[in-house]
Amino acid sequence: MKTKRAWIVAFATILAGISLALVQNKVAPCMTTLMGAFNIDMATAGWLSSLFSLVGIIMAIPASIVLNKLGPKRGGIVALICAILGSLIGVFTDSVAVLMASRIVEGVGVGLMSVIGPSLIAMWFPEAKRGLPMSIWAAYQMGAQAVMFFLGALLTTSFGWQGVWWFGLVACVVAFVLYVLCVKSPRPEDSYADVESEDVSIVEGIKSPSAWVLSLSTMLFCIGCFGFVNWIATCWAQTFTWDEGQANMWVGYFSIFGVIAAVVIGALLNRVKNRKMFGVAALVAYGIASLVGMFMDNPSFLIGFVVVYGFVDAGFPCVLWTMAAQTVKKPELAGVALGVVSIGFNVGILLGPPIIGAVVEAAGWHVGAIAICASCVLAAVVLSFTKLYSVDDAPSSETPEAVLSPAGETR
């Protein structure tokens, strides 16, 4: 019964994450229409997306405080209300300043849920069983991007940019209802990470070196990953003499295969003892894949590349969210650890596209690919120094001999 309840909570949480990610990713499919409707340039339009990363950085630690003080259910409700309110403000405005403000309100919701979601999963699932639910959680952004990629243009054509806004709003309302009905915290004695405990010290969690090491590794990965995703369509359009639409179509397939890969990798992670080294291998594999993608001069290889890329793209995020709660010595500090990791995640998203874009502009696509690969390999090196802890406060040995009991203890 407890396992069934855990999965009900997990799926309601993941759906909430997807609805918020739909709100986050709704700008790209209607970017041109928005620029015309509000008479804004590309730089201003770009901030409609980039604001989320800035808000995510600012909200990372406050989200941990909200999680501890309000609990994951009320905190998640606040997150969804922020997204609903921001969407309502945005859909009825004709002012770019108000639209920007509405995106900040939405960003607060996304920032809260990015910490609350994986914390809820950590509460309901022991360390040995977190691989699959955390991996599905890791795919929520990819799933939302795939939905927006295939529906965004249709909605914009039929209803203008407001159609995309209404779609995200409806998704958040549905997710809100399910979240209220299905999500609850386990009893303290049954929780595998009691993030609501009065003993939680935000300062103690922030001082955990391992959380910051993992955050640094995450930042380096996101610089490479988001640099690649942001520019690869342009690279292929120039290399294969395609139009942007044709190149973007292939990039859209990344998300589809990424979601499939996340489920497969998640099932595998529940059987992997040394998850840290799995993450190291995934980071190196991503670096190699980025080289292949940007050095490719024959589009006939794209089908195979897109499938393989989906798996290497999902590899590290699946490991990241599975391990993040283990970077602190006390399981009740998991929410703080996830906040620290979210800082690196959002900094990488913010820095990746302009850094890789500048490298490409100065030295060409091949050097840009080498920079992406180097960033991912460096992330792998940093990750190898991350110390993980088991729930009994002992350092996780990460060896095949370490057997986790149903309570997540090493014996």
For residue range 144-158, what is the model confidence (pLDDT) as tens digits?
888 887 788 789 889
pLDDT higher than 50, residue 112: yes
User: How far apart are the C-alpha atoms of 352 and 280, rounded to whole Å?
Assistant: 20
pLDDT value of residue 150: 77
User: How far apart are the C-alpha atoms of 402 and 394, rounded to whole Å?
Assistant: 12
Least confident of 64-78, 83-97, 248-262: 248-262
Domain covering 199-402: architecture: Up-down Bundle (1.20)
User: How far apart are the C-alpha atoms of 170 and 162, rounded to whole Å?
Assistant: 12
pLDDT value of residue 401: 36
Residues 71-85 have pLDDT tens digits of 999 999 999 999 999
What are the beta bridge partners of residue 389?
Answer: 395
Where helices occur in 160-274 by DSSP H, the ranges are: 161-182, 202-206, 209-239, 244-269
pLDDT value of residue 146: 80
Query: Residue 244 — pLDDT band, cuts 50, 70, 90?
Result: low
Reported in sequence order, the residue ranges of 91-139 that DSSP labels E, i.e. its strands, are none
Query: Residue 271 — pLDDT band, cuts 50, 70, 90?
Result: confident
Q: Where are the domains of the chain?
A: 1-196, 199-402
pTM to 2 decimal places: 0.84
What are the beta bridge partners of residue 410?
Answer: 404
Query: Are 1-196 and 199-402 equal in CATH topology?
Result: yes
pLDDT higher than 70, residue 1: no
Query: Residue 400 — pLDDT band, cuts 50, 70, 90?
Result: very low
- Where does residue 124 rank: exposed (0-12), middle (13-18), buried (19+ CB within 10 A)? buried
Average pLDDT, the chain: 88
User: How far apart are the C-alpha atoms of 284 and 169, rounded to whole Å?
Assistant: 38
CA distances from 248 to 223, 233, 236, 352 (A): 20, 5, 9, 19
Mean per-residue pLDDT, 65-70: 90
pLDDT value of residue 123: 93
DSSP one-letter code for 94 = -
Q: Which CATH superfamily, name and number, covers 1-196?
A: MFS general substrate transporter like domains (1.20.1250.20)
Least confident of 108-112, 204-208, 273-277, 389-393: 389-393
